[in-house]
Structure 1
Amino acid sequence: MPDDTLPTTADFLQTNRKRWDELAEHHPDTEFYDVERFLDGATTLRPLELEELGDVSEKPLLHLQCHFGLDTLSWARAGADVTGVDFSEAGVSMARELADETELDAEFVQANLYDLPDELDGEFDVVYTSYGVLAWLPDLTEWAEVIAEFLAPGGTFYMAEIHPLGTTLADLQSDGAAEIGHSYFEDDAMRYEVEGTYADWEADIENTTAVEWQHGLGEVVTALASAGLTIEFVHEFPFSCYQQFPAMEEGEDGWWRVPDAEKQVPFTFSVQARNAK
């Protein structure tokens, strides 16, 4: 008899883990990540998060969904006492290799974010996450609860992320005209077949299936507030951290914009919240 069992959330996460294991092996060799520049002493952090989060010197910092650790190690260079977490074994392995090569003091933990309370102890003055992370999480309520569990009293949660409005667009023209690809309020898991990777669209990637979840900005803020955190700001910006659409051009500041668009929409947002306990 045919197997009519529908895939579960655990199945989807396993699908994504296989893809990200492969991406973690490929991404360090791409121009997009420019590991050589990082090894020469450069930071991979953008002025946005450096300015908004501020001084992290000697602060314990937990970086969730850290991929292969470049941003985590950049925070270590900025003086933080860092711990990076990712569900990809290959990503965490590469992060540890880079920590050894750069002689930066960093701990890396391989864990599904939702299982992290069983894998890691302690509290952190800063919990941080950024750019392209929320789409891989099926449940933001639990995500926020994990953040709150690890955030020390008075500690800061900060995130800079791809705006959920931009992710709904199937195309964007140079005048700002756009085609909607899927609902902003989509509740179901969205399964895609993806050739290559955002870091190298010509890459020969075997694991082409990806599963994402749409989360609106209201859902993000409500999850954090419901977990007991005090929202300090929510900012939105009309630029992207990568070439999200062909009409975008990269500025001297490294951000991608639609330069002549008559109608602007947000492509990036940031949130800061505090554990007021």
Structure 2
Amino acid sequence: MSDYTDANRANWDDRASAHADRGPHGYRVSQYIDDREALSEVVRFDLPRLGSVEGLRVAHLQCHIGTDTLSLARLGARVTGLDFSEVSIAEARRLVADTEDDVDFVVSDVYDAASVLEPGSFDLVYTGVGALCWLPRIQPWAAVVAALLAPGGSLFLREGHPILWTMDERIDDDLHLRFPYFEQTEPIEWDSDATYVETDRPITATRTYEWNHSLGEIVTALIEAGLRIDLLQEHDSVPWEALPGQMVARPDGEFALGALDGVAPLSFTLRATKPA
């Protein structure tokens, strides 16, 4: 498993430096420096279901370069971002140093989060789109979430729908289900020098490994970890062009299917609470 993790970490180290470009590429992070009230499009989409985070202690798992993390802080939360990529965390720290947002960042594998963060001390665990597919097993992740939450605290998860992860994005004449829907022991191997946003250079650490987790497996893992499911809402969009040639951009930064709009769910939001 460490070989898979090492390859994925090298890929995310490379992506982080490209995504943090201060110019017109990557995450366009200069917008957060120029406008101290700017929020990421991801967090803006989440707001109707996220509700107020004012004064909450939040753990943002798999935070990457911190644009969603600082957005939560700008909404009044006390946030700690965690990621296994040292380059991602270095870029996140550089960003908040420039924006003057009060955010802490920690380098750690998500499975070890309860060892490096204080267990039972967070009002909210937040995780965003494109995180769970990098985890070999969903049950240990659910156990970490439950361990981090204080009694009465909640998980907020928005993620690409498991149905989306089964689709072959390389074929653009229809929706082609080619990859496992259910969690598998062995990962899907990819080799690509591209990433999901425009960058000014190709990615050099090209080999990655991913795992899918069915919606039922995610929900069941959280229930078995002792959490109560409060919300499960499916969406017809995702915040990147997941299926090139078949999607249309929306004004809010989301992408939806064009001619096949509404045929399949593309992402979902889940909220779960640790009973008091």
Question: Do the structures match in fold with TM over 0.5?
Answer: yes
Decide which of 20, 23, 28 is 2:15's aligned counterpart: 23
In structure 2, what is the Cα distance between the partners aligned to 1:14 and 1:173? 32
2:163 match: secondary structure: helix
| 1:186-211: CA deviation from partner (whole Å, max 9, x where unpaired) | 51211110122111377321100000
**Cα offsets for 1:7-40 (capped at 9, x unmatched):** xx11101110111111111111163411111222
Equivalent pairs, count: 267
Distance verdict in 2 for CA 1:202–1:186, change over 3 Å:
farther
Counterpart amino acid of 1:183? P
Residue aligned with 2:239, SS: coil
* AA aligned opposite 2:99: T
Partner residue of 1:35? 29
Task: Give, in whole Å, the separation in 2 of the partners of 1:150 and 1:185.
Answer: 26
In the alignment, what sits opposite 1:252? 251
- Look up the SS of the partner of 1:191 in the other structure: strand
- Alpha-carbon separation, structure 2, partners of 1:144 and 1:206: 32
Given that 2:246 and 2:259 are in contact with CA atoms closer than 8 Å, whether structure 1 keeps it comes out as: no
SS where residue 104 of structure 2 aligns?
Answer: strand
Q: Is the 8 A contact 1:192 1:210 kept in 2?
A: yes
**Runs (4+) off by over 6 Å:** none
Alpha carbons of 1:261 and 1:230: their partners in 2 closer, same or farther (altered >3 Å)?
same
Equivalent residue, structure 2, for 1:83: 80
- Match for residue 109 of structure 1? 106
Q: CA deviation at 1:46?
A: 3.6
Q: Which residue does 1:269 correspond to in 2? A: 268
- Give the whole-Å Cα distance in 2 for the aligned partners of 1:39 and 1:201: 19
Of the three residues 138, 141, 162, the one matched with 2:139 is 141
RMSD: 1.7
Deviation at 1:121, TM superposition (A): 1.7
Question: Secondary structure of 1:179's match?
Answer: coil
Distance 2:144 2:203 in 1: 32
Say if 1:197 and 1:203, in contact at 8 Å, map to a contact too.
no
- TM-score between the two structures when normalised by the length of structure 2: 0.92
Alignment of 1:126-137 (within 5 A): 126-137=124-135
Per the alignment, residue 222 of structure 2 pairs with: 224
User: Counterpart of 1:274 in structure 2: which amino acid?
Assistant: T
Q: Which structure's CA Rg is the greater one? A: 1
Tell whether the 8 Å contact from 1:116 to 1:146 is kept in structure 2 after alignment: yes
Which residue of structure 1 lines up, in the alignment, with residue 233 of structure 2? 235
Q: Whole-Å Cα distance in 2 between the matches of residues 259 and 189 of structure 1?
A: 30
Match of 1:183 among 180, 184, 187: 180
Task: Identify the range of structure 1 (227-236 vs 258-267) with the bigger mean alpha-carbon deviation.
Answer: 258-267
SS in 1 for 2:237: coil
Distance in 1, Cα, partners of 2:256 & 2:195: 20
- Give the 3-state SS of the residue equivalent to 2:59 in structure 1: strand
Over the matched positions of the two proteins, sequence identity in percent amounts to: 37
Matching residue of 1:3: none
> TM-score, length-normalised on structure 1?
0.91
More deviation, 45-54/87-96: 45-54
* 1:93 matches 2:94: no
The amino acid that maps onto 1:39 is I
Q: Distance in 2 between matches of 1:22 and 1:32?
A: 12
Unmatched runs of 5 consecutive residues or more in structure 1 = 1-8
**Distance between the aligned counterparts of 1:250 and 1:73, measured in 2?**
25
Does the Cα contact within 8 Å between 1:195 and 1:201 map onto a contact in 2? no
CA–CA distance in 1 between the matches of 2:32 and 2:269? 24
Structure 1: how far apart are the matches of 2:43 and 2:66? 15
For 1:186 and 1:50, the matched residues in 2 are separated by: 30
